[in-house]
């Protein structure tokens, strides 16, 4: 199945499950129309991307890299698909092969409660008289923990400094979990002010963000916890661009 | 790499499909009698839609934006200091990214803990760390800032009877625009084992500053400063009391979103 299609389908599922994401039905209908028409499945990838990546940074206790400086996060792909509603979908693939939370060996210097974070920031210019209509992110994770360990996994999707979607998964102490997989899908809409003039949202530089936070709360130093990305250890960021009407 | 190759492959397919379509069109053009008015109208509609889409996505000048320059960050006080110096990137634990009016600052490995590092003040153990972020911001002529939104997110672990917090004070354009202070408070009445805290604040810029910006004869550059302070306070008779802010390995995320408007 085409990756964009799978993203969109899962976006739909996520929206169906959550009504608190501040997502309008209009954007969902647009995505649904694109899916039902088979536009994503038959979409033609293009190198003439309507989005230019000016810079990106991955930073935190669990990762470090930037566009101009190699590290343990890489931008591995970028492709564009057309949708039937006149918008374009740009999908960015980031690889995070080393980002994980692992309970370290018995080390008295390590805290009982500890975290690993990775925050990704992407600076992008929509080309032409276009603006971001919606954004989405998909990342597969796998986690394990001992019975007396609690795990908190938080994912935040940001656009222009605003949190547009977030997901919190809390696995309380009380039962052991082994290699449980979870596909995290977040989507949201830009926060637009009333009467916002087009210059603010059309053709202007945008900052996309995705934050991972994994926290392990152990009862003793020998308790174990492990969280990491599964499958191809990738984060997919999908940006839907629409032409400005003004 | 495989994805890039996949994109190239799809692109070739695209080109191939377009070629077929073009050939079909030529055949049709040589047999005008086969074209009904209905198909002609359909083709005109398709062509119009294609032209509109092409126009919509053709390169276009970007809106004017804030420019962030000369960024440094430095720390003081207890705990692990913060640092950003472009000359020594390997030692930096402050990472910043800006996109016009949007600024993202991530403070990694910036924390205080009790009672490891603490001083006795007023019968209480206190510890604090300050991180100062300086930058030069240039606003294009003919534009003003309308609103500012700040976000602060971090993880906290602390025992009961330990209080503390993170505050953020900022000024845009030297002291002309004081940002609303953000207070993230860790109350002493409950323990926090792995709390993720999030504070947001939005403010509207005052009219006199808008007027002064809009009447400027050239673009304006000013020093801008953010000052983050992390404080922990514990009561002395309880030596086991502990505050770790943030959670070991968790980062402090600060975001600023400023909307730029064209002067009336």
Least confident stretch, A41-45, A227-231, B106-110:
A41-45
Confidence of residue B33 (pLDDT cuts 50, 70, 90): very low
Angle at CA of residue B78, ends B225 and B115, nearest 5°: 140
- pLDDT of A19 strictly over 50: no
- The answer to whether the Cβ–Cβ distance between A77 and B157 falls below 8 Å is no
pLDDT at A197: 45
A134 part of contact set with chain B, CB < 8 Å:
no
- pLDDT of A35 strictly over 60: no
Chain B residues within an 8 Å CB radius of A203: 60-63
**Closest by Cα among B62, B254, B59 to B169:** B254
pLDDT tens-digit readout, A114-142: 899 999 999 999 887 888 999 999 999 99
**Secondary structure (3-state) at A109:** coil
- pLDDT of B34 strictly over 70: no
Mean pLDDT of chain B: 76
Whole-angstrom distance, CA of residue B72 vs CA of residue A113: 31
Our CA-based measurement puts residue A60 at a distance from the nearest CA of chain B, in whole angstroms, of 6
pLDDT at A32: 38
A95 part of contact set with chain B, CB < 8 Å:
no
Higher-scoring residue by pLDDT: A13, A157: A157
Confidence of residue A36 (pLDDT cuts 50, 70, 90): very low
Higher-scoring residue by pLDDT: B65, A71: A71
- pLDDT of B122 strictly over 70: yes
**Closest by Cα among B263, B245, B261, B257 to B202:** B257
- The answer to whether the Cβ–Cβ distance between B196 and A161 falls below 8 Å is no
* A111 Cβ neighbours under 8 A, 6+ residues apart: B157, B244, B247, B248
Per DSSP, the residues of B179-213 read PPPEEEEE-TTS-EEEEEEEEEEEEEPPHHHHHHH
- pLDDT of A12 strictly over 70: no
Whole-angstrom distance, CA of residue A155 vs CA of residue A227: 13
Q: What is the DSSP letter of B33?
A: G
Whole-angstrom distance, CA of residue B116 vs CA of residue A231: 41
- pLDDT of B106 strictly over 80: yes
- pLDDT of A160 strictly over 80: yes
**Domain map of chain B by residue range?**
2-56, 67-262
Confidence of residue B22 (pLDDT cuts 50, 70, 90): very low
- Residue in chain A closest to B60 (alpha carbons) equals A128
Confidence of residue B262 (pLDDT cuts 50, 70, 90): confident
Whole-angstrom distance, CA of residue A96 vs CA of residue A89: 22
- Tell me if A157 sits within 8 A of A188, measured CB to CB: yes
- What is the average per-residue pLDDT within A140-164? 94
For tokens 């990305």, name the residue: A229
pLDDT at B259: 83
Confidence of residue B176 (pLDDT cuts 50, 70, 90): confident
Among B18, B21, B56, B193, most A C-beta atoms within 10 A, so best to mutate, is B56
Tally of CA atoms within 13 A in the half-sphere of A200 that contains its CB: 23
- pLDDT of A18 strictly over 80: no
A45 part of contact set with chain B, CB < 8 Å:
yes
Structure ipTM over 0.90, yes or no: no
Residue A93 has its nearest CB partner, among B3, B101, B253, at B3
Angle at CA of residue B143, ends B139 and B144, nearest 5°: 85
Whole-angstrom distance, CA of residue A47 vs CA of residue A78: 9
Angle at CA of residue A91, ends A87 and A94, nearest 5°: 160
Mean pLDDT of chain A: 80
- pLDDT of A68 strictly over 50: yes
pLDDT at B228: 96
Whole-angstrom distance, CA of residue A40 vs CA of residue A1: 10
Among A207, A231, A243, most B C-beta atoms within 10 A, so best to mutate, is A207
CB pairs under 8 A between A and B: 184
Burial of B44 (0-12, 13-18, 19+ CB in 10 A): exposed
- The answer to whether the Cβ–Cβ distance between A57 and B97 falls below 8 Å is yes
pLDDT at A80: 93
Whole-angstrom distance, CA of residue A113 vs CA of residue A108: 12
Whole-angstrom distance, CA of residue B217 vs CA of residue B140: 11
């Amino acid at each position: 199945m085409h990756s964009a299609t799978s993203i969109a389908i899962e976006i739909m599922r996520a929206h169906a499950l959550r009504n608190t994401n501040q997502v309008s039905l209009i954007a969902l209908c647009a995505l649904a129309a694109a899916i039902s028409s088979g536009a994503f499945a038959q979409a033609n990838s293009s190198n003439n991307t309507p989005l230019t990546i000016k810079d990106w940074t991955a930073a935190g206790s669990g990762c470090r890299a930037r566009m101009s400086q190699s590290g343990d996060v890489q931008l591995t792909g970028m492709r564009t698909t057309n949708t039937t509603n006149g918008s374009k979908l740009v999908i960015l693939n980031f690889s995070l092969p080393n980002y994980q939370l692992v309970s370290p060996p018995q080390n008295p210097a390590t805290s009982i409660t500890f975290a690993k974070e990775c925050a990704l920031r992407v600076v992008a210019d929509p080309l032409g008289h276009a603006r971001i209509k919606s954004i989405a992110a998909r990342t597969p994770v796998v986690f394990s923990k001992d019975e007396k360990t609690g795990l908190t996994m938080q994912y935040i999707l940001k656009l222009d400094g605003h949190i547009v979607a977030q997901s919190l998964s809390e696995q309380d102490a009380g039962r052991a979990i082994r290699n449980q997989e979870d596909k995290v899908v977040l989507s949201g809409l830009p926060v637009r002010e009333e009467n916002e003039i087009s210059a603010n949202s059309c053709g202007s530089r945008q900052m996309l963000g995705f934050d991972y936070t994994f926290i392990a709360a152990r009862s003793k130093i020998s308790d174990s916890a492990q969280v990491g990305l599964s499958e191809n250890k990738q984060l997919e960021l999908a940006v839907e661009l629409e032409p400005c009407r003004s | 790499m495989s994805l890039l190759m996949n994109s190239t492959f799809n692109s070739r397919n695209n080109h191939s499909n377009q070629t077929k379509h073009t050939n079909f069109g030529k055949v049709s053009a040589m047999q005008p009698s086969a074209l009904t008015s209905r198909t002609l109208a359909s083709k005109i509609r398709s062509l119009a839609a294609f032209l509109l889409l092409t126009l919509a996505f053709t390169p276009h000048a970007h809106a004017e934006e804030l420019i962030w320059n000369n960024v440094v960050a430095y720390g003081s006080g207890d705990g692990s200091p913060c640092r950003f110096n472009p000359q020594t990137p390997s030692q930096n634990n402050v990472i910043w990214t800006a996109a016009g009016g949007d600024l993202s600052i991530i403070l990694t490995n910036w924390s205080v803990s009790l009672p490891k590092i603490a001083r006795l003040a007023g019968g209480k153990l206190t510890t604090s760390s300050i991180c100062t972020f300086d930058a030069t911001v240039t606003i294009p002529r003919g534009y003003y800032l309308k609103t500012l939104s700040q976000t602060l997110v971090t993880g906290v672990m602390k025992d009961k009877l330990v209080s503390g917090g993170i505050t953020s004070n900022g000024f845009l354009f030297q002291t002309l625009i004081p940002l609303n202070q953000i207070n993230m408070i860790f109350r002493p009445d409950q323990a926090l084992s792995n709390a993720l805290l999030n504070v947001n604040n939005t403010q509207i810029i005052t009219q006199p500053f808008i007027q002064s910006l809009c009447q400027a004869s050239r673009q304006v550059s000013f020093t801008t400063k953010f000052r983050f302070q992390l404080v922990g306070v514990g009561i002395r008779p309880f030596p086991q009391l502990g505050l770790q802010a943030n959670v070991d390995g968790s980062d402090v995320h600060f975001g600023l979103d400023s909307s730029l408007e064209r002067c009336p």
